[in-house]
Structures are given as structure tokens and as C-alpha cells.
Amino acid sequence: MSKIAYVIAGSEGTGGAGLQADLKTFEKLGVYGVGTITCIVSFDPKSGWGHRFVPIAGQVIADQIEAATSAHALDVVKIGMLGTPETVETVATSLRQQPWRHVVVDPVLICKGQEPGAALDTDNALRSDILPLATVVTPNLFEAQTLSGMESLETVDDLAEAARRIADLGPRYVAVKGGAGLPGDEAVDVFFDGTDVTVLRAPKIGNERVSGAGCVFAAAITAELAKGTDVADAVSVAKEFAHAGIAGRITTEAPFTAVDWHS
């Protein structure tokens, strides 16, 4: 029987991030992918590639989850962009209908090009309704700062402290993606397993952030967990996999590159 990984996330129209990146990751890591769409993001090339965002109606999201969970015996799920407090509530209610071995939450608050602060109500809903259901959470620097309530995250110790504080909100495992965001030559992420902190390092590949890198990291953790890999090993496989995707990134007509493994 093939291993199945499930993702509940937004569609991103250029194909670089969101559900599209998640399903590509599942495929590349050898698991069967099942996806539920929560919202549709279409960057607008006519206006600086700004965000056009359309939420999917709650009932339609609940119906998709019902279809997916009835067709397959799913026990590992990734939660990506939810986008509105209503969607957070719908997804939380659906998730509570069955036990999960792992719920991997990528707490997407804003995407490239969006203003910080645009998502405070969604942030609060995510913190109160989704994080308590999560076993693994993968915030980037901005999300880790918001969720931990810390003033700024500038050092590896800050990342570790943020991870501990976020673990207090529910998830046992926290991987904070420092990415290219900390000073220095290395992309540094921190993994907290409830007891110990592990620092994951890889050489930085340029300083720009690459669209989809965060989605791919969390999706790769999810694929590995679906295969039965333990969480710490799943996180290190994901770090390598995301690193390879950034190294092979493609340029696009949009002002960001996108994760890929071909070049």
C-alpha cells in the first residue's frame, strides 16, 4: 500500500508556492499526495505582482476534507495557508473529527509582497484553534516573532527561545526557519523537540528569499512522517530537500525565484 500525505493549503497561481509546491514535494519524496484548497492566491503582474486573494467557502473546504478523509486512511496532514479566521475555524473543526499521528502546521501569516500586520486576526485564530492541534510547527522568522511575541529575532539563541515559547502554545516539535534571514554565511534553522534544541546549518545560497522554500520544507517533513520517519530525521531530510530546491531554483517573470530541482 502506498504511503499517503495530505495537505490543506492555498493555491498559488504561479506554481511556485502553496498547494502546488506541496504536491510536487510529496511526489518527489515518493508519497501519494492528496490536497484540499483553502484559498486562491493569484499575483497580479499588472500591479507590481501584488496579492489577489480569494477564500474558498467554508462548506466547500469541509466537503473537500470529507472527501479526502473518507477516501483514504489519512494520518499525517500538513496545514499551509488558511487565510481567514473563518477558514481557520472550518479547518480546525474538520481536523478534530479524527485522530492524526502528525499535524504539521506551516503558520503562513503573510506572503511575499504583503504588509506585516495584514493578518492579525488570522494569526490570533491560528494560535488559538490550530496550534493546539499541531504536533510539528514550522514558522519562519516573521511568524516565529509574531507567535512567540518576541521583540526581534537576531541570533541563534533568539530562535531557540522563540521555539520554546511556541512549543508552549501546543506543538511538541518546533522548527524555526531562520533561512537567509540571520546575518552570516549560513542559512540557520533551529529544531526544538520539547527537550533539546538542534541547530541546522547549510551554506546560504544568495540572500534573496525563494518563493515556496518554506512550503517545501514543511511538505517534505510531512512526506517523511507519512513514510514513518521520526520527526528529527524528517526535519533534516526536509532541510536538505529544501536546500536542493533553492539551489535548483528557477527564475520567473515575477520578482522572485521559485524552488525547483531541475537546474
Given the rule CB under 6 A, which residues bind ligand PXL?
9-10, 12, 17-18, 41, 80-81, 108, 111-112, 212, 214-215
**Residue whose CB is less far from ligand PXL, 112 or 201:** 112
Residue 111 amino acid letter: C
Specify the pairing of strand 173-177 against strand 186-192.
antiparallel
Q: Which three cell numbers stand for residue 66?
A: 470529507
Minimum Å gap between C-beta 142 and ligand PXL is 11
**Residue whose CB is less far from ligand PXL, 81 or 163:** 81
- Residues present in the chain in total: 263
Minimum Å gap between C-beta 228 and ligand PXL is 26
Minimum Å gap between C-beta 169 and ligand PXL is 20
Minimum Å gap between C-beta 22 and ligand PXL is 9
Minimum Å gap between C-beta 253 and ligand PXL is 15
Specify the pairing of strand 32-41 against strand 53-55.
antiparallel
Q: Which three cell numbers stand for residue 128?
A: 488559538
Minimum Å gap between C-beta 119 and ligand PXL is 12
| Helices and strands of the chain, counted as H and E runs | 8, 9
**Residue whose CB is less far from ligand PXL, 156 or 180:** 180
CB neighbours (10 Å) of residue 247?
16
Q: Which three cell numbers stand for residue 17?
A: 508556492
**Residue whose CB is less far from ligand PXL, 76 or 218:** 218
**Residue whose CB is less far from ligand PXL, 181 or 212:** 212
**Residue whose CB is less far from ligand PXL, 9 or 166:** 9
How many angstroms separate the Cα of 138 from the Cα of each of 44, 97, 214? 27, 23, 8
Degrees, nearest 5: CA angle 129-135-141 = 80
